[in-house]
């Protein structure tokens, strides 16, 4: 019953931009796109979220397509500490978040 | 600033023994509270969430229960642990701002049932 589709794993060279895709073709108008990441043996960490517009904060940028059926999380200059599992979540507001399997990003020196 | 405390960090329990995991939040009032579990090699599973004292919603029927005796305290319990209860248990909190949720997670408890 997953609402999102993410590649199971990706590699990225240190210092390069990491672009993590997420497909959510059945997204509804009131559903947000959230991104979290989980470093091994730690709790997940909030990265960013968006509804319709592209968003940027100190950690990352979120690009949402105009039809909202897919999005991309961009880490502009990946470091080894960005190695983690990245979760893309689509949920309505005021609803507990349901995590899928995510994308395991490996940043390589 | 807000902080979340979760303990113990690791726990080894025999099958059939009871369980009590505690989570407390500081620096905020009336948070939404959550218990998630992550089995080895699997994703996070939402177990319980609470929007207020004494208000508990269960997402997965099982031998676990949750209670919220105080505004910023959330407890996960079991009367008799099963082998399948092993996993990484995470407490989280959020405050609804506007109409989206931003979760803050604790450091987790690694539970091994033997």
Report the run of H or E that residue A31 belongs to, with start and end: strand A31-38
pLDDT of residue B41: 78
Return the number of other C-beta atoms located less than 10 Å from residue B65's C-beta: 15
Contacts of B58 (CB under 8 A, 6+ apart): B47, B48, B66
Q: Tens digits of per-residue pLDDT, B8-21? A: 999 999 999 999 99
Three-class secondary structure of residue A38 per DSSP? strand
Q: Which residues of B touch A98 (CB under 8 A)?
A: 46
Q: Which residue has the higher pLDDT, B106 or B40?
A: B106
pLDDT of residue A17: 97
Of residues A24, A93, A70, the one with CA closest to residue A62 = A70
Q: What are the φ/ψ torsions at residue A95 (nearest 5 degrees)?
A: -130, 130
What does B40-74 look like in DSSP terms, one character per residue?
TTS-EEEEEEEEETTEEEESS-SSEEEEEEETTEE
Chain-chain contact of B103 with A98 (C-beta, under 8 angstroms): no
Query: Average pLDDT, stretch B88-109?
Result: 87
Q: Which residues of B touch A32 (CB under 8 A)?
A: 100
A46 Cβ under 8 Å from any chain B Cβ: yes
Of residues A52, A101, A100, the one with CA closest to residue B100 = A52
Question: What is the C-alpha to C-alpha distance for residues B77 and A74, in angstroms, rounded to an integer?
Answer: 39
Question: What is the C-alpha to C-alpha distance for residues A10 and A75, in angstroms, rounded to an integer?
Answer: 13
In angstroms, the separation between the Cα of residue B10 and the nearest Cα of chain A is 11
Chain-chain contact of A43 with B102 (C-beta, under 8 angstroms): no
The segments of chain A whose pLDDT lies below 70 read 1-2
Of residues A85, A88, A78, A103, the one with CA closest to residue A12 = A78
Chain centre to alpha carbon of residue A18: 11
Q: Which of A34, A49, A99 is opposite residue B43, by nearest beta carbon?
A: A99
Report the run of H or E that residue B4 belongs to, with start and end: strand B3-7
Place of tokens 């909030």: A46
pLDDT of residue B97: 65
A99 Cβ under 8 Å from any chain B Cβ: yes
Chain-chain contact of A46 with B59 (C-beta, under 8 angstroms): no
pLDDT of residue B6: 94
pLDDT of residue B50: 94
Q: Which residues of A touch B43 (CB under 8 A)?
A: 99-102
Q: What is the rounded average pLDDT for all residues in chain B?
A: 91
Q: Which of A41, A46, A51 is opposite residue B102, by nearest beta carbon?
A: A46
Q: Which residues of B touch A (CB under 8 A)?
A: 32, 34, 36, 42-44, 46, 49, 59, 88, 90, 92, 96, 98-108, 110
pLDDT of residue A44: 94
SS3 content of chain A, % helix, strand, coil (to 5): 5, 50, 50
Q: Tens digits of per-residue pLDDT, B52-92? A: 999 999 988 688 999 999 999 999 999 999 999 999 999 99
Total beta-carbon pairs less than 8 A apart between chain A and chain B: 54
Chain centre to alpha carbon of residue A49: 9
Of residues A29, A23, A10, A11, the one with CA closest to residue A89 = A23
């Amino acid at each position: 019953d997953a609402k999102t589709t993410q590649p199971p794993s990706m590699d990225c060279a240190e210092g390069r931009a990491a672009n993590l895709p997420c497909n959510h073709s059945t997204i509804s108008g009131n559903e947000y796109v959230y991104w979290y990441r989980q470093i091994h043996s730690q709790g997940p960490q909030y990265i960013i979220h968006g509804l319709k517009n592209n968003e940027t904060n100190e950690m990352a940028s979120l690009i949402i397509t105009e039809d909202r059926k897919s999005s991309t999380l961009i880490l502009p200059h990946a470091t080894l500490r960005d190695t983690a599992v990245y979760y893309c979540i689509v949920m309505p507001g005021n609803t507990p978040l349901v995590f899928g399997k995510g994308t395991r990003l490996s940043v390589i020196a | 600033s807000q902080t979340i405390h979760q303990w113990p960090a690791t726990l080894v329990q025999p099958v059939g023994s009871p369980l009590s995991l505690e989570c407390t939040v500081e620096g905020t009032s009336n948070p939404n509270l959550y218990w998630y579990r992550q089995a080895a090699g699997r994703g996070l599973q939402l177990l319980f969430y609470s929007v207020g004292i004494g208000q508990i919603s269960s997402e997965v029927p099982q031998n676990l229960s949750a209670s919220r005796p105080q505004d910023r305290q959330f407890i996960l319990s079991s009367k008799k642990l099963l082998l399948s209860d092993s996993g990484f248990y995470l407490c989280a909190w959020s405050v609804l701002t506007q109409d989206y949720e931003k979760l803050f997670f604790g450091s987790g408890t690694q539970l091994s049932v033997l």
